[in-house]
Amino acid sequence: MFDKLEDLVARFEELMNELSEPDVANDPVRFKKLMKEQSNLTPLVEAYREYRKNQQDIQDSLAMIEEESDEEMKEMAREELAEAKAKTGELEDRLKILLLPKDPNDEKNVIVEIRAGAGGDEAALFAAEIYRMYVHYAESQRWKVELLEVDEIGIGGMKSVNFMVSGAGAYSKLKYESGVHRVQRVPETESQGRIHTSTISVAVMPEAEEVEVEIQEKDIRIDVMRASGNGGQCVNTTDSAVRLTHYPTGIVIYSQTEKSQLQNKDKAFALLRAKLYDLELQKQQDAASAERRSQIGTGDRSEKIRTYNFPQGRVTDHRIGLTLYKLDKIMDGDIQEIIDACIAADQAAKLAKMNEVA
């Protein structure tokens, strides 16, 4: 581990030297690439420098205990030694986590798809609430949310909704939301006050660039039509809605959220690329199914991951055994504690696997 860390520190120093060269600033592509690599290495280098300083503190304290004649000074050195030794394990764990292989998609924007499952109108209402939960969370992260596709029902629910979240590290946090979300509550339409259980599915897909997913023209049918649904200016008056049909997979995308046919077409293709890229990721993960099952956030999309119990005001994440009694805050977008716990559990599982191999 430490040989690798020394190599990374040497690479970091090389990058700093390269970035200080005058001609680098004149090459935007190279400059951006070097800056990204430097940014990725900085937390690791800083943690390793702190570790080395801590090791030096241990050596200095041991020397003082050995050489110092003053008992009071020796006692002070013993306290400093104990603190430094206690800190060693914490710093080593942090370095191991920083050395874990990075998910290449972590810094990407995401496309989120929410679909109502079992429960009829109640599931559609819950889908709309979960959509708003993610919008509020994105706002707290200063991320941008763009609606791509929505199928609404008249009472304020959503049969399905697709939206893009743009911002640094969006996928690294939201990827833990993929799976089945279950709600337990008394529907407003239920006269006898019985608790119903409904479900929705959430799929979080990294945004795919055109170079990452090649879509053949012969594999696509593009239909344009008048937008349907709740009226607004230009709705039902121009052929602005776009439907894409991808023959090889059978995926159908319908986009009508914009007034412009061109904008709807761009959104439809962005969603199709994300779905095709996600299909490829799922194939890769299925090929390493044992590893996939051990990692949180990359599991089966049909897995029930979370229950929202309204009568008891609690939310339980079944993957990590976490229960929080602050349902109102969570539904208002305060999901960081759950995401942090999922990240910690995922890192612990990967560390355990790495130690097994070692």
232-281 confidence digits (pLDDT tens)? 444 455 678 888 899 998 899 888 888 888 888 888 888 888 888 888 88
pLDDT at 335: 96
**Residue range 58-73: average pLDDT?**
86
Query: What average pLDDT does range 101-117 have in this prediction?
Result: 89
Residue 319 clears pLDDT 50, i.e. is over it: yes
Question: Coil, strand or helix: which one is 204?
Answer: strand
Helix, strand, or coil (residue 128) = helix
- Among the four given CATH numbers 3.40.640.10, 3.40.50.2300, 3.30.70.1660, 3.30.60.50, the one describing domain 110-348: 3.30.70.1660
Residue-range domain boundaries for the chain: 2-99, 110-348
Structural contact between residues 267 and 239, judged by C-beta atoms closer than 8 angstroms:
no
Cα angle 225, 226, 228 (rounded to 5 degrees) comes to 120
Tokens representing 176? 């833990």
Residue 244 CA to residue 79 CA, distance in Å, equals 69
Q: What CA–CA distance (Å, rounded) separates 170 from 174?
A: 6
Q: What is the spatial distance between Cα 355 and Cα 173, in angstroms, rounded to a whole number? A: 25
Q: Which helix (H) or strand (E) holds 324?
A: strand 322-324
Token pair in block for residue 328: 């109102």
Q: What is the pLDDT of residues 205-217, one digit of tens each?
A: 998 876 678 888 8
Alpha-carbon gap, residue 120 to 169, rounded angstroms = 34
| CB-based contact 110:164 (threshold 8 Å) | yes
Structure confidence at residue 291 as a pLDDT band (50, 70, 90): very low
The pTM of the whole model exceeds 0.85: no
- CB burial of 339-356 (b: ≥16 within 10 Å; e: otherwise) equals bebbbebbbeebeeeeee
**Per-residue pLDDT reduced to its tens digit, 81-94:** 999 998 988 888 88
In the sheet that holds 251-255, the strands lie side by side as: 220-225, 241-246, 251-255
Residue appearing with tokens 């690294």: 172
Give me 97's structure tokens.
């986590």
Report the chain's mean pLDDT, rounded to a whole number: 85
HSE, CB side, 13 Å, CA atoms: give it for residue 175: 23
Q: Where are the beta strands (DSSP E) in the chain?
A: 110-116, 144-152, 158-166, 179-185, 196-206, 220-225, 241-246, 251-255, 304-309, 314-317, 322-324
**Rounded to whole angstroms, how far apart are CA atoms 174 and 133?**
12
H or E segment to which residue 220 belongs: strand 220-225
Spell out the CATH class of 2-99: mainly alpha
Long-range contacts of 353-357 (CB under 8 A, 24+ apart): 353/291, 353/294, 354/96, 354/100
Rounded distance between C-alpha atoms, residue 140 and residue 134, angstroms? 10
Q: Decide if 2-99 and 110-348 have a common fold.
A: no
User: DSSP labels for 158-178?
Assistant: EEEEEEEEESTTHHHHHGGG-
What is the model's pLDDT at position 103? 82
Distances (CA, A) of 11 to 20, 32, 35, 45: 14, 16, 13, 10
Which DSSP category does 259 fall into?
S
pLDDT digits (tens, 9 = 90+) for 348-357: 888 877 766 5
The answer to whether 202 and 177 have CB atoms below 8 angstroms apart is: yes
